[in-house]
Every structure is written in structure tokens, then in C-alpha cells.
Structure 1
Amino acid sequence: MSGRSEKSLTRQKLDRTLKPHWVWAIALGSSIGWASFVMPANWMGQAGPLGVILGLTIGALLMIVIAISYGVLIRSYPVSGGEFAYAFLGLNRTHAYISGWFLTLGYICIVALNATAFSLMLKFIFPDFIEQAKLYEVAGWEVYLTEIIFTTLLIGIFAFLNIRGSTISGRMQFIFVSILILGVLTITIGMSSSGDTSFANLTPVFTPDTSALAAVLTMVAIAPFAYVGFDNVPQAAEEFKFSSKKALSLIVLAILFAAAIYSMMIIATGVAMPWQELADANHSWGTGVVVQEVMGVGGLIVLATALSMGIFTGLNGFLISASRVLFAMARGKVLPDIFARLHKQHNTPYYAILFAALISIIAPWFGRDVLSWIVNMSSVGVSIAYFYTTYTAFKLLKWNEQDKDYNPELHIVSPWRKVVTIIGMISSIAFLALLLYPSSPAALGQESFYALVIWVVLGAIFYIGRRRELSKYSRDELAYLILGDDQYKLANKGNDSDNNH
């Protein structure tokens, strides 16, 4: 114990500016991103049309189960940092660091992946313009100076807008999501009702190479990646301009909308031609090819607009989240204090935003394939964060008022939600097993596994370097900095061993 009073510490606070429909748009737009428009042909090649739809729908239901734990924690602890704060609350500073370390990498890489997806779209539409000034190849991927410039400009614009304040970011997100939904509906109706398409092209509904169960499990395993954006809501919880009790309904609604959009894009892509032929053709953008063939240039413009909105919402949403995790970790003394500094005029964590943007700008120089390896690996980190959240919610919830640890100021009595948190923990472990077990149909590729090992080693080295500084603060001081004011009571009571480091 350092003896320092928590009230003598300086705890930075963010402005409450986000409206409910903006937060819903952050969750939905981040969950959709670029994948629903770019990946349908690839996913059908792995699982077949019905395999993709069933797998992602089951994944959505599992995400809702996990989201119930988020709802419990956001309601009681509406602070930036999300899973970082929850891991500290339920366990200790070391677990909080692990959760934050994986989240930061995952969020920043998805920012970069969304930005490079925009360059991919431009390369499909204007190949002669984008494919100029070839620099080199990485893992078979050709890196062009032109696309790096576009990627850098795009990330720079969103970083600037984020520094200007969450009001601008939230309003933009809602506008982008509205245009995205309108575009998806237009494409789905246009493709399904065309005389040149047929629902018969969706057969066989599963890929013939694997069993139906394996096909579905393959898609269930990518649910943490497909729906990762819903956990951007707790990152923004400190900035809610409304009751945190609404968070769960906003998350559930976003997940349901995301599942519907994924399904519609699978159908819109698959009805155009036999899906096996489309998957075997290995187009850089299979959905773009079939939409242009069936709906012409007008259809391609609508699709490109919807894709752009998906990219912008993913880029904006994850830039918000990456910067808030960095901000929360610095406020909690896990990272250097510079990441917790707030802009004098806009009160935003501008150093954290700039850092996330700079790392995102570096990534495209390594080629999209290398970036994809890292993003695939980050699904492991997201699943770990899900486990921490469900575990902490399990500790917070009680079966009844007769539980020996029950304290009405700290705990919530809700047997059914406690059961749901157990299912959430099991689901999180199942996701990890599907990703890490070598014989799993959804096991990480060799490159992604190596990237995971490297990131774990780097995290351990960095934590050892920060441990001396972190050890200056007692648990109750860190609880005040991470959770704020009166919200640190449970953390103080929950794990006294943390004081011994």
C-alpha cells in the first residue's frame, strides 16, 4: 500500500455527448464494416450459403448471450475501457492489462483493415488509377504507393474528426449507417427480383467437401470477428448522454440488424450464379462482380456506396474504441500517462487517437495479407475479453439475497442472468477452443498463430517494463482511477491479493 488517498489522484473525465441512436450506430456500423460486402463469396466457399447464414445467426445469438453480461456491467460501471475495466473489477491489474493489450491490437488492426478495404474497392473500380507506383510484394501481396496514400488520407481524416469530439463522430456514424442500410436493402431487393437471378443458385446449401455441422461451426467460430463491433458500446459508456440502462437493448438491436445484413448480402450474392462457380473463380470482390453483371453500373455504384459506408463506420467506430482503451489503460497507470491527456478545447484523448491512427497507417506497408493474419489472431483476444466480461458479471450477480457475499450496494440479485453469464463463459471458451485447437475446422492458420505468439511475448515484455511504475499504486487507488468515484467499492472488496502484486 502506498498510503496515497484516491481523492488526491487526478482522474480525467470525458464529456457526455453521445445520444442513444448514435451509440446504436457505433455498435452496428462497427459490426458490419467491410466484411459483409467483400466476404460473401469466400464464406460461401467455406460453408455454403445456408452454412454461412446459420453459422452467423447462431453466432449472433451467442453474442447476445454474452451481451447480457455487458449490459449488467455497463449499467453499474459506465466507464471507458470496457473489458479492461471489467477484468480489473473481477480479477486484478494483471488480467486487466492482458485484456486491454489484446483489445488494443485488435481494434487498431481493424481500423487499418477497414481503411485498406477502401483501397481494395477503388482498385476494383479504378484498377489503372490505383495500381501505380508498385513498391514491393509481401507474402505475395503487391503494395502500391497510391493505395498507401489513399489509406493514409482516410485514416488521417477520421483521426482529425475524432479529435474534434465524439459529437461529430456519433452524428457521422448514424448518417453512415442509415445510408448503409438503405444500400443493402436496394441491392438485396434488386438482385433477388431480377429475371437474371435464381434462388436455385443457392444450392447445394452446404459445401459438399465438409459435413453440415463442420460448415456451420466454421462460421460460428468467426462470430467474434463478425460481430466484434458491438463491444465498442462499453468503450463509449463514459460518454453516454442517457441512462446506461439502455445499453443492452441498443447492443441487442445492433447485433440483430448485423445478422440480418450479413444474411441479405449472402442471398444477394448467391442468387446471381451458382455459388460454387463464384467461389472457385476467386475474384478479388465476388459480390461486386455479380452485382455489376446483374444490376449494371448503377447497382455497382449503390454497392460501392454501401461498402464505403461500412468501411467508414468500422474505421470510425474502432478508432473511437482503440483510443478509449488506450485512454483507460493510461488513466489506470498501465500505459504511459500521455495517452490519458485530453485536448484542451475538445476534451478528447487526442494522443491516444493519434497513436492509434499512426499505427494503423504503418500497417498497410506490410500488405493486406499480413494484416489479415493479425486480424484473424485478434479473434483470440476478443474471445478472451468476452470471457473476462462474462466472468465479472457472474461475480457481480447473485442467486439470492442469502448469498454469503451479498451486499445490496454492490451486487444484483438475478438468477436467470447469472445462468446466462455461465453460458457466456462457456461460449467464450468454446470460441477459443475452435480457434486454437489444431484439428478444429476454424483453427488459426500458421501465420496467425505465430503472430499471436509474438504479440503475447511483446505484451509480457512491456508489462514487465511497466510493473515497477504500476506497483506504486494500491488496488483502491487503481480502482478509483479505472472505475471512478463511488464505483470502485466492489473492486476494493473483491480481490485483496492484488495489493500484494
Structure 2
Amino acid sequence: MSVMRTKSIEQSIREGDDPEYQLKKRLTALDLTVFGVGVVIGAGIFTVAGRAANQLAGPSVIISFIIAALVCGLAALCYAEFASTVPVSGSAYTFSYTSLGELVAWIIGWDLLLELLLGASVVAQGWSAYFEIFMGNIGFDIPDAVAPGSGFDLAALVLVLILTALVSIGIKESMRVNLVLVAIKVFIVLFVIFAGLAYIKSANYSPFIPAAGPPREVSAAETPLLQTLFGLEQTTFGVMGIFAAASLVFFAYIGFDVVATTAEEAKNPQRDLPIGIIATLVICTILYCVTALVLTGMVPYDQIESSGALAAAFESVGKTGYATLISAGAVAGLTTVVMTLMIGASRVIFAMSRDWLLPRQLAKVNPKTGTPLRITIIIGVAVAITAAFTPVGKLEYMVNIGTLAAFTLVSIAVPVLRRKRPDIHRPFKVPFSPVLPILAALASFYLMLTLPTETWIRFIVWMALGFVIYFIYGYKRSRLAGSSREEDVPSMTST
């Protein structure tokens, strides 16, 4: 029995048809695109753009967004091929199970769990901070004892519990709420763009690429691994500053891969999933680049606020009312991010439980809601506790490294599966394979190397914990372990 045992595509699809573990197919290409835009446009556009422009790239942060989008785009093509070929819940976890084997699948599943759980908690705290600003602007102050940063973030706790109840009701009902909130969020982004055009000063774009400066002074733990291993320093501004900013603004794109976690709930996954994944990335890239263009045109890059940059930009031109509206949009926008990350996390655990790598009882679907109710509640409680009581702000880079690791392995898996199963019908194919998948893997791994050393240490500890759980529990109990034992019997007899 080997940890490299691989599940066939046919077996993955067949298990998804088991009535006890079957999710309802209710999502269209529009639902998936809205779902993707809902999770991608969030903390990144409201906070990261300003920090990257102010500290690393200046007006050329637009190029940083494009670089990050290209990396995500390469990975998106790989996800689209897998999602159309293996339309089963679980995203990168399921894809790798059919190509790279059970151990790699477990690594990715455990990795995705880190990304989605921690991401939801981080964004819930970001939502709480914007909610406090919005309530303050309309005359209501949140008591210090339960405010963000107090040790008990009440608003974040309440938000997650409400969203848990909503997600438990059903995926289609969640999508209806998501559609309304995404519409509000996109309206706010478009409002920022068109309202901000009147306040752009062309002088703020000069120099477009500020002269390179020394790297920021950070502790040894915060030093990028690239510098720790190879002595390559990431300068601020200049060309290297653009690449450093790309590593930061990558956070703004995190989430498009969550679309693939809902593959099993799509009505026509072979057609709708590639549309949903690629449309999400295209829409968000356009909105990000234009918003960054407006922001750096309104305010000199060295005066941009590192947090709440969009609202602060309008306050700087005397439009306080606009700033309040933007804060309200951020509250609506971040709500959808938390909800979709929670849905993604529940679907990953659902897939792992259905494979018996985690307790199989968790994967049972509630007949009324068509959702994995037990998993949804567990995820909700975990995110609520983490968001309410844990200062997770310093762990934001953990979300990045988890996502990039999944991108790297999924990209490698595309040519591997093509070689192993050339007979499988692929409704969508990555062009120029294996060149583009290899480029996607290399680009994702490079961005991983630009993350702080302490992030790598935490990531290795988390993965070590995952290995312990797998070899103590999942290795012996998985579905494939049982089938492997059955296949071993006749071979032993014949010997």
C-alpha cells in the first residue's frame, strides 16, 4: 500500500453521485462569476493597493497588479482545465488526487484549509474595522471593550455567526445574498473610479516609476526567504519595487480558485466553471488597475494612506460624504469575502471527509438544505472564535503562501494528468501545455520565495501537523486504503 495511490477521475465523479454525499446542482455560470468576484474584490482593493503604492511601487503599482494577474491567470487556466475535466467538489485537493496521488492531495487539502479558514478570519477582522469606521461616521461608537483590537471583537463574531446560519440554509440562498452584496461592492468600486476622475492630477503620475531606494528595515524573521537564502534584496520602488509590490497585491486576487470548490454544485460544470474562473479574473483585474490609476492620480504616492486608502483619498479632497459611502461599500464587500471563503473551506473538508481522510460522518449532506451542515457549523465556529479572540493580522501572509503552494502543485498536475490520462475528454484545455503550466508553477513558486522567512516557518509547522494527522488517521482509513487492501488479496494468493 502506497501513499502515492491515485484515485481515478471516474471514481471521483462516481462518489459525487452517491445520494448520501451528493450536493445539489444549482449554480450557473453567472452564479459562479458573481461568487468569484464576491470573494476576490475585498480587502485587497480597499487596503492593499494603497500600501503597495505608498511603500513599494508608487504609481507603477498598476504594473504590479498586472504582474500578479498574469501569475493568477496562468494558474486560472490550469484550474479551468481541471475543473471542467473533474467537476467534483474540493478544487485543487480533488484535482491532485486524480493526478499526483493521495499524499499530495492531503497536503493541498490541508494547505487550502489553512488558506480559507485563516483568510476568512483575517477578512472578518478587516470587516469589523471598516464597520467601526462606518458606525462612527454616522454617529454610533462601538464600546472599546468589544471594539476591534480589544481582545474580543464582537462585530466579527456576530458577522461570522450570521453568515454561518445563511450558508447552512443552502448554496442558492447564499448566492442570492451574495449577488446583492457584490452588486453594492461593484457599484462602490465604479463610484470610486468615476468620482475620482474629477480629482486626478497628472503631476501625481510623475515619476511613474520612482527611483529605487534601499530595502525596508525589517527583522530577520520578516526578511523575504529569497534574501535569506540567496542574498537578493528587494528594494523599494524602481523595477524591483514593482515586483515586491506584486507579491503584496497578490493578496488582492486570492479567492478566484474558490470557484473551483463549488464544481459539484454547477449545473453545467464543463462549460460554466472555466467561464466563472476566467471571467472572475478578467473583471477583477480591470477594476483593480483602473482603481489604482485613480488612487495614485488623486494623491501623491508618498502621501497615500496605508490603510483605508480609498476613503482617505476622498477625505483629502474634502469629500467626507464620499468617504462614508466607500466605508459602507467596504462593509458590504468584505461580507461577501468572508461568506465565500467559509463556503470554500466547507467544500474542501467535505471532499476530504467523503474520501474518509477525515471522519466520514462529516460529509453527510442535509437532505433539506443540500449542504454539508455539520461541516458548515464547525467551520463557522472555528472562524468566529479565531476572528473574535485572536490577533491574526500578522498572519495575513499565511493566506498568500497557502494559495501559492496550491497554485504550484495544480500547475504541475496538469501535464502529469495529460500524460497519465490522454484519453479523458477535456472540455477546456490549457494552451501550449506543458510550457504554460510550468511557467505558472515557476511564477507561483517565485512569489512564495518573496514571502517572509517567519511565514515559511509557520507554514512548515502547519504542514508538519498535517502529516501527523494523515499518517495517524487518514492513511489507514481512506477509501483508497480499503480498495488497496482488496486488490492486494488476489495478488498474494497468486504468489
Match of 2:450 in 1: 434
Match of 1:263 in 2: 289
The code of the aligned residue for 2:67 comes to I
| Change in 2 beyond 3 A, CA 1:259/1:247 | same
Q: 1:309 Cα deviation (Å)? A: 2.7
* Distance in 1 separating the partners of 2:426 and 2:291: 43
Q: Trace 1:313-462 onto structure 2 (pairs within 5 A).
A: 313-367=336-390, 370-397=391-418, 407-409=422-424, 416-435=432-451, 444=452, 446=454, 448-462=455-469
Match of 2:187 in 1: 182
Structure 1, unaligned runs of 5 or more: 399-404, 436-443, 479-491, 493-501
* Distance in 1 separating the partners of 2:301 and 2:244: 18
Q: 1:110 Cα deviation (Å)? A: 1.4
Q: 1:337 Cα deviation (Å)? A: 2.1
Q: 1:269 Cα deviation (Å)? A: 2.7
Q: Secondary structure at the match of 1:48?
A: helix
Match of 1:232 in 2: 258
Residues 1:272 and 2:298 are matched in the alignment: yes
* Distance in 2 separating the partners of 1:363 and 1:89: 33
The code of the aligned residue for 1:313 comes to T
Identity of paired residues, percent? Answer: 21
Match of 1:132 in 2: 143
* Distance in 2 separating the partners of 1:224 and 1:286: 17
* Distance in 2 separating the partners of 1:220 and 1:70: 21
Q: Which moved more, 1:292-301 or 1:175-184?
A: 292-301
The code of the aligned residue for 2:206 comes to T
| Change in 2 beyond 3 A, CA 1:234/1:42 | same
Q: TM-score, normalised by structure 1?
A: 0.81
2:275 to 228, 241, 249: 249
* Distance in 1 separating the partners of 2:116 and 2:244: 23
Q: How many residues get paired?
A: 448
Q: 1:123 Cα deviation (Å)? A: 2.6
| Change in 2 beyond 3 A, CA 1:51/1:312 | same
1:204 to 194, 199, 207: 207
Q: 1:236 Cα deviation (Å)? A: 0.4
Is this contact kept in 1: 2:356–2:479, CA < 8 A?
no
Q: 1:434 Cα deviation (Å)? A: 2.6
* Distance in 1 separating the partners of 2:271 and 2:434: 17
* Distance in 2 separating the partners of 1:473 and 1:348: 25
* Distance in 1 separating the partners of 2:37 and 2:484: 35
| Change in 2 beyond 3 A, CA 1:202/1:362 | farther
Residues 1:463 and 2:479 are matched in the alignment: no
* Distance in 1 separating the partners of 2:176 and 2:126: 23
1:300-352 deviations in Å (ceiling 9; x for gaps): 23312321232022112111101100111111111122331222310201121
Match of 2:119 in 1: 110
The code of the aligned residue for 1:275 comes to Y
1:22 to 31, 34, 39: 31
Q: Secondary structure at the match of 2:268?
A: coil
* Distance in 2 separating the partners of 1:458 and 1:393: 28
Supply the RMSD in Å over aligned alpha carbons.
Answer: 2.9
Q: Which moved more, 1:251-260 or 1:262-271?
A: 262-271
1:74 to 74, 83, 86: 83
* Distance in 1 separating the partners of 2:28 and 2:115: 26
Q: Secondary structure at the match of 2:304?
A: helix
Structure 2, unaligned runs of 5 or more: 3-10, 214-235, 488-495
The code of the aligned residue for 2:477 comes to L
2:247 to 217, 221, 228: 221
* Distance in 2 separating the partners of 1:182 and 1:475: 52
Is this contact kept in 1: 2:185–2:332, CA < 8 A?
yes
Q: Which moved more, 1:47-56 or 1:202-211?
A: 202-211
Q: 1:268 Cα deviation (Å)? A: 3.3
Q: Which moved more, 1:296-305 or 1:79-88?
A: 296-305
Match of 1:97 in 2: 106
* Distance in 2 separating the partners of 1:42 and 1:203: 18
Is this contact kept in 2: 1:115–1:151, CA < 8 A?
yes
Is this contact kept in 2: 1:21–1:174, CA < 8 A?
no
Q: 1:265 Cα deviation (Å)? A: 2.7
The code of the aligned residue for 1:463 comes to Y
Q: Secondary structure at the match of 1:353?
A: helix
* Distance in 2 separating the partners of 1:475 and 1:43: 50
* Distance in 2 separating the partners of 1:156 and 1:243: 30
Match of 1:192 in 2: 197
Is this contact kept in 1: 2:415–2:434, CA < 8 A?
yes
2:67 to 58, 61, 80: 58
* Distance in 1 separating the partners of 2:431 and 2:193: 42
| Change in 2 beyond 3 A, CA 1:220/1:272 | closer
* Distance in 1 separating the partners of 2:316 and 2:471: 56
Q: Which moved more, 1:378-387 or 1:462-471?
A: 462-471
Match of 1:311 in 2: 334
* Distance in 1 separating the partners of 2:191 and 2:156: 28
* Distance in 2 separating the partners of 1:278 and 1:132: 29
Q: 1:429 Cα deviation (Å)? A: 2.3
Is this contact kept in 1: 2:263–2:269, CA < 8 A?
no
Q: Secondary structure at the match of 2:150?
A: strand
The code of the aligned residue for 1:180 comes to K
Q: Which moved more, 1:416-425 or 1:225-234?
A: 416-425
* Distance in 1 separating the partners of 2:86 and 2:249: 26
1:383-432 deviations in Å (ceiling 9; x for gaps): 1211221122112335xxxxxx6652467997724332222222222222
Q: TM-score, normalised by structure 2?
A: 0.82
2:154 to 140, 149, 154: 149
Residues 1:84 and 2:87 are matched in the alignment: no
Q: Secondary structure at the match of 2:398?
A: helix
Q: Secondary structure at the match of 1:347?
A: coil
* Distance in 2 separating the partners of 1:255 and 1:462: 35
